[in-house]
Amino acid sequence: MIPFTFNDIETGARLFEALARQAISLRGMPITYGDLLTLARSLHPKDEVLGRAVPVGIGAKLQFVESFCATHGLPNLACLAVNRETLRPGPAYQGDWEAEKRAVAGFDWGSVDGQLAAYVEAMRAKVPARFKPRKERPADVAWYAYFCSHRAACDKLTPEDKQEIINQMMAGLDPETALGRVLAAKLEFGSAA
């Protein structure tokens, strides 16, 4: 796993807030990746990075949530995010899902706001300097150049996959790494939103 990007951290923090709301209001009931993004957007309607997020890219953001929870000894809040087709966490999920859902439902999520802000800052400081953010247009142009010279590797990509690759490139990844990360996410978290 490559280190978190600024995109992973910022979007992951927003997803944490949405998952905490889900845990509090619906007693730990699971939420699909797409619905989770919709809920997070409703909480932060002017967040441009969150606005561009797509379900296929949610894996690294959920890993950020898992990392925060593990670091602070909290129940794994990311266990609530599920694949639309299976209504279960992605294939990479490890753990006792039923027990984790119960632990998440019974926890006081309102008590961690300060810890999240501090963790976000600490993780932002760890983003490698080589991850230089780009604007959308230069990322799109760089992706198109890569795509043209690697069509065989890109033949099964969906428009959503392309959007996540552009998001990853905007976060500072090179095209090959962004493509690899999206393909790995589809295997790890399932391809369905």
pLDDT(92) > 80: no
Record the tokens describing residue 123, joined without a space.
């993780």
Residue 188 has pLDDT above 80, yes or no: no
Q: How far apart are CA 104 and CA 167, in angstroms?
A: 30
3-class SS of residue 153: helix
Instruction: List, in sequence order, the alpha helices (H) in 107-174.
Output: 113-125, 136-149, 159-170
Instruction: Give the pLDDT mean for 109-126.
Output: 91
| Share of residues in the chain with pLDDT > 90 (%) | 75
| The pLDDT of residue 191 | 55
pLDDT in tens, 46-73: 999 999 999 998 989 999 999 999 999 9
pLDDT at 1 over 60: no
Residue linked to tokens 């043209």:
148
Q: Does 193 have pLDDT greater than 80? A: no
Q: What is the pTM of this model?
A: 0.88
Q: Is 191 helix (H, G, I), strand (E, B) or coil?
A: coil
Q: Name the residue ranges covered by the structural domains of the chain.
A: 6-125, 136-189
Whose tokens are 């129940």? That residue is: 75
